[in-house]
Amino acid sequence: GNSVTQMEGPVTLSEEAFLTINCTYTATGYPSLFWYVQYPGEGLQLLLKATKADDKGSNKGFEATYRKETTSFHLEKGSVQVSDSAVYFCALLTGGFKTIFGAGTRLFVKA
């Protein structure tokens, strides 16, 4: 079946460090891939997405590239800020109705 695996957290970084959160997926067909972010006490909101192979999604300095050959969609940011502290979810959507979420990775950024 379809599934998403992302690296376990928490990830703790100093401000201005480079961030990578790994995400790999298993899916039939050609899924759309998403990164959602959840700030403390809030619901999830879309961070970025990619709908086909080799597409790069980007937003707020974050990037992720849809790699079909490695079934991956790793999230990166060149210089994190304290305000980036949140939980990040990788997700996929196939031709069905349901979005499949990873378990989430908590990021702490220290000043």
Partner 1 sequence: NAGVTQTPKFQVLKTGQSMTLQCAQDMNHEYMSWYRQDPGMGLRLIHYSVGAGITDQGEVPNGYNVSRSTTEDFPLRLLSAAPSQTSVYFCASRNYRDRGDEQYFGPGTRLTVT
Q: Return residues touching partner 1 (CB under 8 A).
A: 32, 34, 36, 42-46, 49, 51, 89, 93-95, 97-99, 101-104
- Of 57 and 74, which CB lies nearer to partner 1 in the complex structure? 57
What is the side-by-side order of every strand in the sheet holding 56-59?
A: 19-21, 75-77, 62-65, 56-59
Question: Which of 44, 48, 51, 21 has the alpha carbon at shortest distance from 35?
Answer: 48
- Of 38 and 72, which CB lies nearer to partner 1 in the complex structure? 38
Both tokens of 63, joined, read 């990037």
d(CA 11, CA 6): 12
Least distance (Å) from partner 1 to the CB of residue 20? 19
Least distance (Å) from partner 1 to the CB of residue 66? 12
Least distance (Å) from partner 1 to the CB of residue 111? 26
